[in-house]
Structure 1
Amino acid sequence: MNQSASPSFTQFPTQSQVPLTSSVFVTSDQFSALIQRLDRIDNKLTQLDGIQSSVKAITVRLDQIDKWVNDMEVKFKDIERSREYDSKNIDEIKKNNSQFDALKANIRQIEEQQKTMNTEVRHDITDIRSRSMRDNLLFFGIPEVRDSENREKDSECVDKVLHIIETKMGIESAKETIKIHRAHRIGKYSQHKTRPIVAKFAYFPDRERVRQSYKKLERPYGVSQQYPPEMMETRKRLIPIMLEARKQQKEAYIVCDKLYINRTLYQEPSQSRNR
């Protein structure tokens, strides 16, 4: 379970905007597709290693040629000043300059290919991490034991989460009807800060029923979905844009790391997206 989280309170799409998953079981086809994706990522990482080795070798050769070209340019200037032109050296300089330009163009092409592959690999990894957090919810404001020598057990975190669900979120008999695989605190322990609890639900419909009851919670309590750090950064950028759109009486909501305004996907400017 990923332990990254943001102690922010997030307004989530309503049930009409985000359809519930009809099945909570992962089929063999889905598992095979996930394995195939991991294999593709492994192949891409292997290709990246080869590209990086090629770039290193080309860079060494490029430095050697650059030094040689600089030396030849000095000689060329001396020859020009004395008006003693050596046609052979001039031709050789032109030839090496041409090779130098070709190498630079080749390196630029390799760098672009590497950027593209890095982006694809990062996207695939983020997607897999997001799917692994699909059944998770973050609970904020639940009192934490401050005894550093006798910290909470995971079972105690499960009991605290179910207690909040039952007493603060109005879901009756939660302790008997909702199953949580595990729950624990995330983040570095501090005497002055209450860490959130991440809980992994056994069944996705139970997680959705709890998530949709978030409005019943009052401070200091809160609940939100868990996302990978990359998605959290994207959501932080999109939330102000969403709020501004709502001020303009537009329909705006965020699904995972995608912003929709008037049911149209919002496209971030490339500079903000690449920061």
Structure 2
Amino acid sequence: MRVLSFQSRNVLYGEETEIPAVLNNVLTLLNRMDTRLSSIEKNTGKNTTTLSQLNDKFNSLSARVIDAEKDIVDVKSRVTQLEATSHGTGNLFDEIKTKTDKLASDIEHLQRERTDFENRQENMKEKIDNLEEDKCMLNDKLIDMLCRSMKYNLIFSGIEEHRDEDCEDKLRRFIYQDMRIEHRLEFGNVHRFGKSYRNKPRPIIARFLYFSDLDMVKRAGKNLKGTHYGVNQQFPAEIEEKRRKLYPIMKAERKNNSKVVLIRDKLYVNDELVTVSNDEAPREEPRQTPIRPKKRSRVSSTPDRDGHS
């Protein structure tokens, strides 16, 4: 641009004196200016296009900004709602936490009570077990005492019953006539027991003063074989129930000529203890001789057969 200005000054104010030369210079200058203007117009058109594009982009950007502002407003509104909801949720969480803490405390309390109850239950179970052991021990002692008290008793069944009868006299005649024992026996007490049934006499129980008399009568029981009479030693109900289970085994072993010994509720076959339960068949165990404490001398108000007291 400076070069063109300098050239224009030289054409107008130069020292050239010839008019044709001046005109040529002016023409040349005008051509250059025209070329420059054409270039400027061309560039201006390009700039106009660029400005138009920039304007379009600016308008698009403005529209986006407006949309963004709307979105921001919407987001702010939602944030406000979320804050309100969050506050309500926080209150709900606080309430839930309070209830949860209370439930945890109640559960802990219940667990302590359960532990205490289990401990009491365990103690109670232990006490019950001890009581059961004591009960079994007392029951065994009671059965043993009953066995001892019944040791001198025999039960006679099948003897005809009459009203206002003398049981002892009737029993003596039965022993003499049917059991063929001529020896006079000594009784402590003789009576019938149990319920009366039509056409069925009640059994007679006799208490012997001497065990030798009782043993003599028991041995003579074989004379009643084939009759409807029976003679058995008296035992407590628990012992008698166990003996009933052993009777078939005892009879079968006697047929096999085995050595059979029945002591209370214990059956020994060839010196082997036979045990019977509800769930299993009878089995034999080695016989063990119990170790018993030394007995004290028996003091009785009943005199012995030899006259000793």
TM-score w.r.t. length of structure 2: 0.53
Provide the aligned C-alpha RMSD in A. Answer: 2.9
Offset, 1:84: 2.1
1:178/1:248 CA distance change after superposition, 3 Å: closer
Offset, 1:99: 1.0
1:107/1:210 CA distance change after superposition, 3 Å: same
Equivalent position of 2:172 in the other structure: 162
Post-superposition CA distance 1:187-219 (Å, at most 9, x none): 112232111111111211011111111001141
Instruction: Note the residue ranges of structure 1 that are not aligned, 5 or more in a row.
Output: 1-78
Equivalent position of 1:130 in the other structure: 147
> What is the alpha-carbon distance in structure 2 between the residues aligned to residue 235 and residue 115 of structure 1?
25
Q: How does 1:187-198 map to 2 (within 5 A)?
A: 187-198=194-205
> What is the alpha-carbon distance in structure 2 between the residues aligned to residue 241 and residue 102 of structure 1?
49
1:203/1:243 CA distance change after superposition, 3 Å: closer
Matched, 1:259 2:275: no
Relative to its length, the structure with more helix (as a share) is 2
Q: Which has the larger radius of gyration?
A: 2
Q: How does 1:236-251 map to 2 (within 5 A)?
A: 236-243=244-251, 251=259
Equivalent position of 2:100 in the other structure: 84
Offset, 1:90: 3.2
Offset, 1:114: 1.2
> What is the alpha-carbon distance in structure 2 between the residues aligned to residue 244 and residue 103 of structure 1?
53
SS at match of 2:207: strand
Equivalent of 2:211, from 182, 204, 211? 204
1:207/1:97 CA distance change after superposition, 3 Å: same
Identity %: 32
Q: How does 1:77-156 map to 2 (within 5 A)?
A: 84-86=100-102, 87-145=104-162, 150-152=163-165, 156=166
TM-score w.r.t. length of structure 1: 0.59
Offset, 1:262: 2.7
Instruction: Note the residue ranges of structure 2 that are not aligned, 5 or more in a row.
Output: 1-94, 281-309
Equivalent position of 1:229 in the other structure: 237
Task: Count the aligned residue pairs.
Answer: 184
Corresponding letter in the other structure for 1:124: K
SS at match of 1:171: coil
Contact 2:245 2:276 survives alignment (8 Å): no
